[in-house]
A and B are shown apart, each in its own frame.
Chain A
Amino acid sequence: MANRREFIKAGLAVSMIPILATAKELLPQSAASVFPFYKVIFDHRFPASREFGSEMEKLGAAVHGINGDITDLWFHDLDQRWKQAPAPIAGMTAHGPLFCLERLAWDHGMRVLSRTDHPPVDDSEPLITWIIGPRARS
């Protein structure tokens, strides 16, 4: 039987591969550079999300950790960045932070481009891996 860490690793595998693969397909060419995300968001409260952030950082991502609340991320970073131009972000968070970021992104012409729901581990909240970005040119 897989232990907790193995379970998290397995979850990571199914969450990270699609995120990187689909980013290239979903994002406009201008955004799909070597590493396409302006920021990658993880949540300190969840081991799987911390692992996700750590792995993404190793791949060269600029990561930002939250504790469930996106206020600081929004006020000190994304709000000002997105006022200049849309910038794609990705993350592994619970529903609440994604709910907020999605709605804030709408006002800057961005959408949730990809969303993968993961089953909860133990009594933890279910996590979601997601990409928010400008819509690809058709």
Chain B
Amino acid sequence: MKYNVRAGESEFEVEVDREGAIRLAGAPLDADLQPSADPTLYSLILEHRSYELRIEPCEGGYRVRIDGATYDVAVEDERARLLAGVKSLTAGGDSGELAIKSPMPGLVIDVAVNVGDVVEAGQTLIVVESMKMHNEFKAPRAGTVRALRVERGAKVAQNTILLTLA
């Protein structure tokens, strides 16, 4: 099976044959990956160079951590690649409305705008407190407040839509 792998800005073609032999860009490679009882801990020996890795699944592939560095690695086999090609043709366009979401759970401590307000880029819209920090959500672009989905004092979950800008 051939895999197209993207890590950082590099792309690699990794092939694993039915015997388990590995090729990188067509060239044979001596690679030994060992899992452990700790489900995210792996040892990789690559041409006698030894690496300790933490690997866990993430959206679109795997998050790999080595020596304090993190790589989000997208792994695509030939079949997935074909499917992805079809999807991108059918995906819809941008509606023009912009939803401001809270990337973390927290408490809404201030709502600085009302529905219908015209806002400038960078203007503070909503302040959410999480982990004792006040996170100000600012307008990423100029626009009009189309809808307010939360009020002051509301608890919000991760990815809650706070308001929409038109």
**A in complex with B:** no
Which residues of B are in contact with A by a Cβ distance under 8 Å?
A: none
Which residues of A are in contact with B by a Cβ distance under 8 Å?
A: none
